[in-house]
Amino acid sequence: MIVQLAGLPGTGKSTLATELGRHLPAAVLGKDHIRHALFTNPYLTYSPAQDDLCIDVAHQAAAHLIDEGIAPAVVLDGPTCHRAGQISRVAHLADRLGRPLHVIECVCPPAVAHARLTQDQAEGTHPAADRTVALYQRIRANAVPIPEPKIVLATDTELAAVVARCLDRLGVTSRTAPS
């Protein structure tokens, strides 16, 4: 299984990815963590080209983990999937690996996303330095709809409930007791 998390900045993709990694026998590959493993300042550009390179690396790592039998499933955290072609790229990967693809679009009210982004920016808790309310607004203004099939998951409730709904929609059982 390949799970692609999608959604605007601040909608809970990274938080959900971490939790899915705890509850599923799945490797979590995060675009922002890959970016920081590959690039340091002053080489962090956060450009679409750098995003695409990091996504390519995530897809190569996913193929390696699955092809070598290291991980039975992969959770891909990032990109937002609001640019044309981003879902078709991961669909091609899933087809090539013979794995089902589950696209999960994380959604929440703009005020919730803005509050999360502002808090993360103030605390420095997220690896992407460009993850701001301005980025949210820019992506939202230019976003193409995430194509079906997808699971739309509201992330503005308690995390344990969000994770339980996600696992239910994926049709899987947690491998760990929720904490």
**pLDDT score of 179 more than 60:** no
Question: What is the DSSP track for 37-105?
Answer: HH--TTS----HHHHHHHHHHHHHHHHHHHHTTS-SEEEEE-----STTHHHHHHHHHHHHT--EEEEE
| Residue 143: both structure tokens together | 């976003």
- What tens digit of pLDDT does each residue of 76-135 get? 998 889 888 899 999 999 999 999 999 999 999 999 999 999 998 888 777 777 888 999
Give the global pTM. 0.92
| Residue 176: per-residue pLDDT | 65
Q: What is the CATH number of the domain that holds 40?
A: 3.40.50.300
Query: Is 178 inside a domain boundary?
Result: no
> In the chain, how many domains are there?
1
What pLDDT band is residue 178 in, cutting at 50, 70 and 90? very low
Range of the domain at 125: 7-170
- What tens digit of pLDDT does each residue of 27-76 get? 999 999 999 999 998 999 999 999 999 999 999 999 999 999 999 999 99
Mean pLDDT, range 166-177, rounded to an integer: 85
